[in-house]
Amino acid sequence: MTKLLVLSDSHGGRAAIERVLLKENANIDALVFLGDGLRDLEQALTPYPRLRAYSVAGNCDYGALEPMDGLAAFDQAIVFYTHGHMYGVKYDLDTLTDAAAARGAELALFGHTHVPHAEQRGKVFLFNPGSCGRCYTGPDTYGLLTLENGKVTAYEHKEVPKQ
């Protein structure tokens, strides 16, 4: 069993990432950051040198050297992760679903919309944690996923803790 912490779109909200890590660090196996706040992430991770962290650049991560998308395996599940702007996620999720399926992924993680989302589409589970720094639909959020034997067995969207 693998527990993933999924964060996206901090937009200068380093303190929000720090609060989430303080709360969840002991309960997770890895962190996946989906862009738009790479510097926030870099600074927030300083006290956690052993935490496995995966990240991609978002459309607001100017000058970043990180890739636009990535592929990783956790607990026999192939995970495709991206910010989402290159796949038109604000308009529909078809292109993202197709991109993940073409890579053999069972799970596609994306951000960019600032709106939490979870949906099974064919063989691909789509998950957006919302925004940990500037959510459009309510409180700032992050995601937790549990993977086991190549499948998502649990997921949740949680509110970023207040100070």
pLDDT tens-digit map of 55-78: 999 999 998 989 999 999 999 999
pLDDT digits (tens, 9 = 90+) for 84-114: 999 999 999 999 999 999 999 999 999 999 9
CA distance 40 to 42: 6
Question: Domains in the chain, ordered, with CATH?
Answer: 2-159 (3.60.21.10)
pLDDT digits (tens, 9 = 90+) for 4-41: 999 999 999 999 999 999 999 999 999 999 999 999 99
CA distance 86 to 163: 34
pLDDT for 163 equals 77
Nearest to 34 by CA among 91, 93, 95, 108: 108
Tell me the pTM: 0.96
Nearest to 8 by CA among 74, 82, 68: 82
CA distance 41 to 13: 9
CA distance 125 to 5: 16
Q: What is the mean pLDDT of residues 140-163?
A: 95
